[in-house]
Amino acid sequence: MLLGALEAGGTKMVCAVGDETGAIHNQISIPTETPEITIPKLIVYFKQYPIEALGIASFGPVDLNPASPTYGYITTTPKPGWGNYNLKGAFEKELRIPIGFDTDVNGSALGEQTFGCMKGIDCGIYLTVGTGIGMGVIANGHLLHGMLHSEAGHILLSKHPEDTFAGKCPFHPNCLEGLAAGPAIEARWGRKAVELKDDKKVWELEAYYLAQALVDYILVLSPQKIVLGGGVMHQLQLFPLIRAKVKELLNGYIKTKELADIDNYIVPASLNDDQGIMGCLQLAVLACK
């Protein structure tokens, strides 16, 4: 079964053609400009192939309620031209095939659940830490949707007593994204995360905030696996720091086999940064059912 996959990001659109096994046959990247410039290029790409369905995982916020008149829209994004844009509808009109639609981070969670390290897990979370911070939740074996979709990057945290950084988020001075996403690291330290690899205090502070957030997620969602992806999490020295801080903050309150094996509980993404595209392939599969 030939399937299309679109990981729609604010900076670039990753397009691919693959199949239901998660195999990617062809993949390209197109810069995200205005819809008028970008969408026709994407449609030309997909029309080259006899795809039977398309899966789209998009930056947001997006409307995921099938009963809503704006289902499939990118809604209140500040990105010029994309606010209240009918992304799903644009492809339905041109391709006339089933289309699955979800958030970018839900796509990554679905990729890990279907093909990666969350396979067989009924409840798990995928957190991306990069330009922003977002979370996809698998609950009872399915992606979790509700009033909107998870905005777990904006949970409010306690500031580290020695951290004088004001935060990068325009809405919240002390949310996870504003304190720990890539732009916050660069603004706080004056250099990009990749240039700070050997600065221990940078990663101890980053682990402080990420661990605090993970403890909240653990207590609320009780996930069986936590997968951390995104550009910041390429700094693998973060993982032992985060795991140790999570155990410290939980303080023995929860005792499970997962936490007893924390090295296999809080883990890096497992699909070579293709989890989003592979999740899109699975969205396409689900759209055919």
185/180 Cα distance (integer angstroms): 6
Q: pLDDT for 255-277, tens place per residue?
A: 999 999 999 999 999 999 999 99
The verdict on residue 113 lying in a domain is: no
> What's the whole-number mean pLDDT along residues 21-37?
98
For residues 139 and 257, state if they share a domain. yes
227 shares its domain with 278: no
pLDDT score of 238: 98
Compute the distance between CA of residue 151 and CA of residue 168 in angstroms, rounded to an integer: 16
Specify the number of domains making up the chain: 2
* Average pLDDT value for residue range 232-238: 97
Residue at 49 is within a domain: yes
Domain match, 180 and 237 both:
yes
Residue 164 in domain: yes
Q: Are residues 85 and 225 in the same domain?
A: no
- Looking at the structure, do residues 85 and 164 belong to the same domain, yes or no? no
Its domain, for residue 163, covers 120-268
Q: Which residue has the tokens 């993404």?
A: 269
Residues 63 and 153 in one domain: no
Phi first, then psi, for residue 193 (nearest 5°) are: -55, -40
Chain position carrying tokens 């221990």: 200
pLDDT tens, position by position, 147-206: 888 899 999 999 999 999 999 999 999 999 999 999 999 999 999 999 999 999 999 999
pLDDT at site 11: 92
126 and 215 together in one domain: yes
Structural domain includes residue 126: yes
Residue 114 domain flag: no
> What pLDDT score does 263 carry?
98
Single-letter amino acid, residue 198: D
Report if residue 219 sits inside a domain.
yes
Same-domain check for residues 277 and 264: no
> Would you call 4 helix, strand, or coil by DSSP?
strand
Assess whether 135 and 244 both reside in one domain.
yes
90 assigned to some structural domain:
yes
Model confidence band, residue 78 (pLDDT cutoffs 50, 70, 90): confident
CATH number at residue 127: 3.30.420.40
pLDDT, tens digit (0-9, with 9 covering 90-100), for 142-160? 999 988 888 999 999 999 9
Is the same domain home to 71 and 130?
no
* Mean pLDDT to the nearest integer, 97-119: 98
Let me know whether 240 and 164 are in one domain. Answer: yes
pTM of the predicted model, to two decimals?
Answer: 0.96
* Greatest alpha-carbon span in the chain: 57
Q: Would you give the end-to-end CA distance of the chain in angstroms?
A: 13
Does residue 194 lie in a domain region?
A: yes
129 and 262 part of one domain = yes
